[in-house]
Chains A and B, each alone.
Chain A
Amino acid sequence: MTAVTDTRKAGRWLYVASVGLLCAWVIIPLYFLLINTLSSPETVNSFPKPFIPEFDLGSLQFFAGFQGMLVALKNSVVVAVLTMIISISIGAPAGYALSRFDFRGKEVFRLLILLTRAFPLPLLALPLAVLFIRTGLDDTAVGLALVHTTLAIPFAVLITFSLFSGIPIELEEAAWTLGCTRFTAFTKVVLPLILPGIAASAIFAFVISWNEVFAAAVLTIENRTLPAFLLQTLAESPMHLKFAGGFILVVPALIFIFAVRKYLFAMWGIANR
């Protein structure tokens, strides 16, 4: 009897300890980055490192003052916002079509969308670079946003598909019988119900663009985004600049996962059905 409860207790301890360990595995590297970011450049380059941050804004100030860095940050935001707008505005209608209509070719279309995820999409930036030079889209925020949209679009379609599927069609039908057209039923009934979810998928698109390095590095020269700028200067930039830049890259991610955590799982559940 005691042997059984003992193994139970041991198992319980093991379980809690492993959960704690795995949480630490995720958080501790982030904590190290935080220490480096909130330390003066001298401390960052010194040895040994302190294990608590000294809350010195020197590194961040250096980052802000570094030639081209703030412009890169601004470019990143512009590209990400554009990606967000384009991918949602063309992805959401497709998500709606997938959830509301049975049409010939629906399965093929869905498969196509899923398949784009299986391609190493950043590679496609190479030929687009040539195309963009011809059309004057090279080195512009719009051009890069278009490429980032190809990355974000499968997710935009799939998340909005699952969101629309969560709204009973009867609500729309009721609106039609109460004097709405297809369009007004959408704006008066579906849209208010779906807005938080749309916001979540928009954030998702934002972060996909925000994080993308390869296409950004290929397609921009003067107007580098932050990841592209960091990549370009990796070899020669001082440590404290890398860490401050990395930190700025990470912050939106933390907020993003928090904002969309409810939708992350729903989205993949639907996508695999």
Chain B
Amino acid sequence: MAEIQIKNVAKNFGGYQALHDIDLTISDQEFMVLLGASGCGKTTLLRIVAGLETATTGEVWINGRRVDHLPPKERGIAMVFQNYAVFPHLTVFENIGFGLRMQKMPNDEVKRRVERCASLMHIEQLLKRYSGELSGGQRQRVAVARALAMEPDVILMDEPLSNLDALLRLEMRAELKGVLADSKTTAIYVTHDQVEAMSLADRISVMHQGRIVQAASPIEVYRNPAAEFVAGFIGNPPMNFLRAEAAGAGKWSVAGQTVDGPAASGPLQYAIRPEDLRLSDQGLPARVKLVEPLGAHLQVTCDVDGTAIRAVLDSDLTLKPGDAIHLAPQPDRVRWFDPNTTKAVQ
């Protein structure tokens, strides 16, 4: 049972406000991913939970116990680092058993746990090696096994896959998901890779400029972004935006078309995902500017009312720059944002 509560945490690095007022509760056994571009504060937040960094203000609670004044070793956490941090002077066995040795655990128990974690990560045959003799992927496995061997309440991971090559990353991602689900620990995972976040997370916290913009399930973050930033950050290519002018109660004028929308005043942003646009006889009038055949589908960049709009279309279509087409949005996938607050409007 390990619930993590982050209450009003802020961090100031000598005048630079890295985190503003973070409030986040991560429930027991939840896999929480902190997602954001570099410099958004996600690693700082993780390090504050780990105890490697001290929050300027605010509290961190793990398991109903306030921990923000405790050193890392008393927080019941284990951490996996971006560059693995496998101790070069110790064998793989001693690396995995390092934390257990620090707890003065008897030899046979250390041996049992190390071997179990090593087999979980498929590195049983490497136990006698040193870090210099391992590949990046193997070092990553050692780092994860070392964290698991602690049987921590909480496991913290700082971009653990970002130093691996693409294929290995896919493989490790799948393995991590399985191993962590079985271990029943609460996990916080920091990444800038949205695919990684979507595939691993129970819940994603999207961070931007030191704030959590949205914390929700992957599909919720994707379908119902809470703010323009999330809509523009998640998805590849990201969501399209068009300016919408009020045209009567609940009616909006978008690129010369009148569509139904929320009952609100003032101009709004009309947003639609590229894959929710279809080629049609009616809908938004568009002029094709760029056609990129990507195999599975066709990515088309068009000019709609002076704005560049991307659509992901069927790859059998034959389109060329200059073609005048119409793009029909799937009505239930249209989202609205207030350009003043940048928040979603229902």
Contact = CB atoms under 8 A, between A and B. Distances in A.
A and B touch in the complex (CB under 8 A): yes
Contact of A174 (B51, B71, B81): B81
A177 B72 contact: yes
Contacts of B89: 189, 192-193
A178 B73 contact: yes
Interface string B261-302: 000000000000000000000000000000000000000000
A174 B85 contact: yes
A181 interface: yes
A11 to B, nearest CB: 41
Nearest to B150: A178
Contact of A170 (B83, B98, B102): B83
Question: Which of under 10, 10 to 19, 20 to 34, or 35 or more describes the interface residues of A?
Answer: 10 to 19
Contacts of A188: 98, 102
A178 B88 contact: no
Interface in B53-84: 71-73, 77-79, 81-83
A199 to B, nearest CB: 15
Contact of A177 (B79, B83, B103): B79
Interface in A168-208: 168, 170-171, 173-182, 184, 188-189, 192-193
B52 interface: yes
Contact of A178 (B52, B82, B146, B156): B146
Looking at chain A's contact residues, the main secondary structure is: helix
B190 to A, nearest CB: 14
B71 A173 contact: no
B22 to A, nearest CB: 21
B81 A178 contact: no
B73 A177 contact: yes
B117 interface: no
A173 B103 contact: no
B87 interface: yes
A168 B98 CA distance: 18
Interface in A138-196: 168, 170-171, 173-182, 184, 188-189, 192-193
B79 A173 contact: yes
A171 B87 CA distance: 6
A181 B73 contact: yes
A9 B168 CA distance: 50
A193 B132 CA distance: 13
Q: Which of B50, B51, B99 has the most CB of A within 10 A?
A: B99
Contact of B102 (A168, A171, A179, A182): A179
Nearest to A178: B99
Nearest to B79: A177
Contacts of B72: 173, 176-177
B70 to A, nearest CB: 11
Nearest to A193: B89
A172 to B, nearest CB: 9
B71 A170 contact: no
A180 B74 CA distance: 10
9 contacts: A168-B83, A171-B85, A173-B85, A177-B50, A177-B52, A177-B72, A177-B73, A189-B87, A193-B88
Interface of A: 168, 170-171, 173-182, 184, 188-189, 192-193
8 A-B pairs with the lowest CB-CB distances in the bound complex, closest first: A179-B102, A178-B99, A174-B85, A170-B85, A177-B79, A176-B72, A179-B73, A192-B89
